[in-house]
Structure 1
Amino acid sequence: MDFAAAFTRDPQAAPYPVRCDATAAAVFAVLATVLALCVDDGRRPDALGWTLLLAAHVPLAWRRKAPLPVLLAVVACVAPYHGLDYMHLAPIPASMTALYTVASTGRPVRTVIVGLSVTSVTLTIQLLVNPHEIVELLRVSGWVIAMLVFGTSIRLYRQLVAGVLERAEHEAERKVSEERLRIARDLHDLLAHSITLIGVQTSVAAHVLVADPDRLDREALVQALDGIAETCREARTEVRTTLDVLRAAPEGPLPDLASLPDLVRSSGADLSVRTAAAKIPAAVGAAAYRIVQESLTNAVRHGGPGADVRVDVGLDEEVLTVRVTNGGAAPRGSSHAPQGVGGGTSGSGYGILGMRERARSVGGTLVAGPRAGGGFEVEAALPLSVRKVTV
């Protein structure tokens, strides 16, 4: 057994405590017998002395089940043993073990009370037996105090280790929760955008078929069907990539700003990127990509393929700004929050809530709501120095 693990483990939660303690008690009894026979530190035990000495070791089999009653039982046997001036060194291992168990399993107040009580009893007996042995009085008191301090130190060490382990478990649980939320956001952002585009393109194809069957626009129909097929291929590729990365590592795929042109082009929106050669952290770029993706999904879903959508990405000192406007031109360079934006989510589903969590995951903020001049606007501010935030 590892020595450090033996002190770290809760003694009352160890397997087979009675069996282990009974074995230890038998070993201490044999040691006490050897000391009583071989060491000249008092008179040799007679029948009563042997009875008291061996009886003091019996309660140790339950020392971890009932520490305080065991100590009282040991003292009840050891006190008259010492009082009759039998060999004083023999019962010391049993007495110290009982003291250690109380100190290592009890509260500090109980330990202090037990220490004072045991010291008082020990000193009283010592004064009655050897009233002139001042050095012996100090030695015995020192052993009692040292054992209590040692037991208390072990108890505090166990509490410290237990606290560290508990915090580690909570941190692991928090990381698992964050990972689940991140995967949920990735799958939502990935699939919602593709499915929305497929729905719009399918509607266009259906409209072409039923609008004027006699003058069927085959070119428009083929274009719509090709768009559906291309969107399906892209979605399948992204899902496969996501699953492959999730199987290989705890971090999922992180699309960056370089992927924005293809994303915006597929939605028919206008894009403006003003980041020059600035180095954008992967997490910030991924958050910006997913915010734009979800905003475009909502715009296409509610405004159709002909919606007037503008995406503007830029740098304001050390902050990456993302603005997606739908329905009317957004004032470029404006840094104020859109009017009428509340604290809750607009619309149905979890799109805006997910975007806010995306922004918070990198220490940023996001506001979304109707614009004063009509339409809808999403505006996010993402700091380039990523701060880990629990969402």
Structure 2
Amino acid sequence: MAVSAVVIVRSVRDNGHVPDVLGWALLLVAHVVIVWRRRAPVRVMVTLMAILLVYHSLDNNHTAPMAVSMVALFTVASRTRPRNTLLIGVGVMGVMLTVKFSEGMAEGAESLRISGWIVAFLLLGVYVRIHRQYVASVVERAERAERTREEEARRRVAEERLRVARDLHDLLAHSITLVGVQTSVAAHVLAADPDRLDRAAVAK
């Protein structure tokens, strides 16, 4: 809002008269609406266009809303799909060029310069959106790789535990089988020849 006030003071002679109470109220509403631009960029942009259309129709200072308009355009380009960016950009420039050229060729030529700024802010927003998507994809790939490494480590630990358990099971089964065989042999020998029993060893 302070930026708009400074712009009005510097350009009042060339870009319309100083806003009246209604003009200042419209500028204030435009700056309040822009607060929600990150939550609903397209709706905020459409609302802002409606507010500024009324503002400019009253022949208020035409340069004052430039900053808030560019911020809204940048937000649309950086936070929405390319289709929305294209539609909003074409819509804004179409309305502006139609209104300006209807006022005369001089005004139309000035609007072409403003169109350059609109395109620049839209392209900047698109660049920021693409960069954010790239960074997000890199982070996602890194997190996925980290999860994969953790899962692989857990899988290897589980496999190692299973191998150790299998080895212990085989060793224990072999030992039990060996003990069973030896017991059977001893029982058979004792049954055949009881005198071979070492009674002194058993007593100990």
Fold-level similarity (TM above 0.5): yes
The amino acid across from 2:55 in the alignment is Y
Which structure has more strand as a fraction of its residues? 1
1-structure distance, mates of 2:24, 2:58: 12
Q: Could you say what the CA RMSD is over the residues aligned between the two structures, in angstroms?
A: 2.2
The amino acid across from 1:30 in the alignment is A
Within a 5 Å distance, the mapping from 1:128-147 to structure 2 comes to 128-133=102-107, 135-147=109-121
Q: Using CA pairs under 8 Å that are at least 6 residues apart, name the structure with larger relative contact order, 1 or 2.
A: 2
Equivalent position to 2:18, from 44, 50, 66: 44
Equivalent position to 1:192, from 166, 189, 192: 166
CA contact (8 A) 2:42 2:84 kept: no
Which structure has more helix as a fraction of its residues? 2
3-state secondary structure, aligned to 1:212: helix
What do residues 149-197 of structure 1 show as CA deviations (whole Å, max 9, x unaligned)? 1111111111112212222222122212211111111122223123312
2-structure distance, mates of 1:94, 1:197: 79
1:71 Cα shift?
A: 0.8
Within a 5 Å distance, the mapping from 1:67-82 to structure 2 comes to 67-82=41-56
CA contact (8 A) 1:71 1:98 kept: yes
3-state secondary structure, aligned to 2:106: coil
Does residue 1:85 correspond to 2:59, yes or no?
yes
1-structure distance, mates of 2:118, 2:132: 21
Does residue 1:203 correspond to 2:177, yes or no?
yes
Q: Percent of counterpart pairs with the same letter?
A: 38
1:119 Cα shift?
A: 0.3
Does residue 1:31 correspond to 2:13, yes or no?
no
2-structure distance, mates of 1:76, 1:195: 79
Equivalent position to 2:78, from 101, 104, 109: 104
1:209 Cα shift?
A: 2.5
Within a 5 Å distance, the mapping from 1:1-391 to structure 2 comes to 29-40=1-12, 41-42=14-15, 43-133=17-107, 135-213=109-187, 214=190, 215=196
What do residues 58-83 of structure 1 show as CA deviations (whole Å, max 9, x unaligned)? 21122122211211111112123234
Cα distance change of structure 1 residues 83 and 125 upon mapping to structure 2, 3 Å threshold: farther
3-state secondary structure, aligned to 1:168: helix
2-structure distance, mates of 1:216, 1:51: 115
What do residues 190-247 of structure 1 show as CA deviations (whole Å, max 9, x unaligned)? 2312331232122212321332243579xxxxxxxxxxxxxxxxxxxxxxxxxxxxxx
1:133 Cα shift?
A: 4.2
The amino acid across from 1:48 in the alignment is L
CA contact (8 A) 1:79 1:125 kept: no
TM-score of the superposed pair, with normalisation by structure 1? 0.45
* Greater displacement, 164-173 / 30-39: 30-39
Larger radius of gyration: 2
1-structure distance, mates of 2:197, 2:98: 114
Cα distance change of structure 1 residues 216 and 193 upon mapping to structure 2, 3 Å threshold: farther
CA contact (8 A) 2:100 2:108 kept: no
1-structure distance, mates of 2:177, 2:128: 73
1-structure distance, mates of 2:78, 2:171: 67
Aligned to 2:202: none
The amino acid across from 2:75 in the alignment is T
3-state secondary structure, aligned to 1:164: helix
The amino acid across from 2:165 in the alignment is L
